[in-house]
Amino acid sequence: MTIAMPKPSPEILGRRAEIVSALRAIVPGEGVVDASVEMRVFETDALTAYRQLPLAVVLPETVPQVAAILRYCHANRIPVVPRGSGTSLSGGSLPLEDGVLLVLSRFNRILDVDFDNRCAVVQPGVTNLGITKAVEHAGFYYAPDPSSQIACSIGGNVAENSGGVHCLKYGLTANNVLGVEFVTMEGDVIRLGGKHLDAEGYDLLGLMTGSEGLLGVVTEVTVRILQAPETARAVLIGFPTSEQAGACVAEIIAQGIIPGGMEMMDRPAILAAEAFVHAGYPLDVEALLIVELDGVKAEVDHLLSEVEGIATKNGATTARVSQSAEERMRFWAGRKAAFPAVGRISPDYLCMDGTIPRKELPRVLAGMKALSEKYGLGVANVFHAGDGNLHPLILYDASKDDELQRAEDFGADILRLCVEVGGVLTGEHGVGIEKRDLMPEMFAEDDLKHQIRVKCAFDDRHLLNPGKVFPVLHRCAELGRLHVHAGKLPFPDLPRF
């Protein structure tokens, strides 16, 4: 493990039996797990290089239970890590040795589908795809579609402000959530937004979306549902170089065309995905674009021919348009399975998530190639090309001595490069522990100080998901004197209040 976590409190560890029985009094039956062997399934999320057994796992079923757990933990100064399905790629739901892991998977009901108001009210443990499944019979769907949508929870999506291949046109989670109910660390139940489109006052809903489990525990979500477009067709376009594919992406957007999705894969990613899913990808190209156009049929046909024209102008060597809904789904299946497909060609991989201005793609790709040589590690690239959101997958073998460290250093340099060209550290996977120590590269001391002040307003004892997002936390009362250091910090004595 190369990223340091807060030191556990010996006092809390010593009170474990008493804490477990207090939690059992709140959630009876099988809702509290404390045997090491049974807690193993919760010891990591999708950042699998990091593992930690929690103090105890609690799986509440009702909002009053969540409130009672948080109230008890607040009174007893016990850290709490909220968890949905555990698919975070940034270590956001990594447990703490002296912390309670609060798992929302039993909150798995669709509470209300309101076609008239085009929204659905769901519990946070419902999977992303589960929302679309609940409304597709009437021709509706939930637009943000992370590749993990079969497993990840909508509560996790809200906490990470997750994206997906269709977010270029339809927006991220933040643009598709109308309301949430959440419970504060002190056990208060708060409602923000609802079925209506706007609310007066501070945009606290915007604040909760992307708050990575640091401000409250989401217990209900109201999402926008959309009517499925009349027609959707995808085209696979192959290029001899990634630079040409990047130029094509920039020109499509510059022409005023906003595709439903526009994704790019480089050769290692194409080969891995094709071998895994048999999506029909061309194997003789260096870069592949998948561009989906949706809308009424005449518009889609017109835009398809425009896109093909732009592609030819930018040097495309192949273009294949889906001829059926099944074929379109197969084109996307390859892209959506790209991460697990890369897992078949390398023992381990780290998935980065920087976002850059689209025009900087050639510079960043060239930089990444040089870094790959410097660190002696391979990289496969998958991009949400339209959004400029990069997902370099760094290939390494954790069983080899220094490869994890080298992979992390390589990843940190990629993210520094993204910031250098005017981009950001994360497009959709969150900061978690993975990018925590890089935050001072992106934000000045005053920026971080004010972000931590917001955290203090919700959780002044820093008990919700400590050790994530912020490179250092100070007592809220001391914020005036806060000093944030650049570089890796060992978290020597994260304060417990």
Q: Count the residues of the shown chain that bind ligand FAD, applying the rule CB under 6 A.
A: 37
Region class of 238: left (phi > 0), else alpha (psi between -120 and 50), else beta = beta
User: Does residue number 126 form part of the binding site for ligand FAD (CB under 6 A)?
Assistant: no
Among 60, 130, 210, 213, binds ligand FAD (CB under 6 A): 213
Q: Closer CB to ligand FAD, residue 375 or residue 383?
A: 383
Does residue number 163 form part of the binding site for ligand FAD (CB under 6 A)?
Answer: yes
Q: Does 339 bind ligand FAD (CB under 6 A)?
A: yes
Which residues, 6+ apart, have CB-to-CB distance to 203 below 8 Å? none
Cβ-proximal residues to 425 (8 Å cutoff; 6+ apart), any chain? 353, 354, 415, 418, 419, 431, 435, 438, 439, 441, 442
Write the DSSP assignment of 29-87 as a string of letters.
TTSEE--HHHHGGGS--S-TT-----SEEE---SHHHHHHHHHHHHHTT--EEEESSS-
Which stretch, 57-65, 86-94, 257-265, 487-495, contacts ligand FAD (CB under 6 A)?
Answer: 86-94
Vertex 229 angle, CA 223 and 234, to 5°: 110
- Determine, following the binding rule CB under 6 A, whether residue 85 of this chain makes contact with ligand FAD: yes
Q: Is 220 in the site for ligand FAD (CB under 6 A)?
A: no
Closest-CB residue for ligand FAD?
A: 156
Closest distance of CB 42 from ligand FAD, Å: 10
Other C-beta atoms closer than 10 Å to the C-beta of 209 total 24
Dihedral of CA atoms 227, 229, 230, 233 in degrees, nearest 10, equals -160
**The dihedral of CA 275, 278, 284, 290: what is its sign?**
negative
User: Among candidates 287, 300, 308, which has minimal Cα distance to 260?
Assistant: 300
The one among 79, 82, 261, 386 contacting ligand FAD by CB under 6 A: 82
Of these, 12, 58, 72, 83, which contacts ligand FAD (CB under 6 A)? 83
Choices 52-60, 89-97, 110-118, 439-447 (CB under 6 A): range interacting with ligand FAD: 89-97
How far is residue 387's CA from residue 399's CA, in Å, rounded to a whole number? 35
Only segment of 130-138, 211-219, 307-315, 416-424 that touches ligand FAD (CB under 6 A): 211-219
Contact between 193 and ligand FAD per CB under 6 A: no
Site for ligand FAD, residues 405 to 434, rule: CB under 6 A: 428-429
Q: Which residues, including other chains, have CB under 8 Å from residue 339's CB and lie 6 or more apart? A: 147, 349, 351, 382, 391, 393
Binding of ligand FAD by 84 (CB under 6 A): yes
- Residues 139-158 touching ligand FAD, rule: CB under 6 A, are 146-148, 152-153, 155-157
CA distance 248 to 293: 15
Contact of 355 with 387, CB cutoff 8 Å: yes
The region of 7-15, 19-27, 77-85, 365-373 touching ligand FAD under the rule CB under 6 A is 77-85
46 interacts with ligand FAD by CB under 6 A: yes
Footprint of ligand FAD on this chain (CB under 6 A)?
Answer: 45-46, 81-89, 92-93, 104, 124, 146-148, 152-153, 155-157, 159-160, 162-164, 212-213, 217-218, 339-340, 428-429, 465
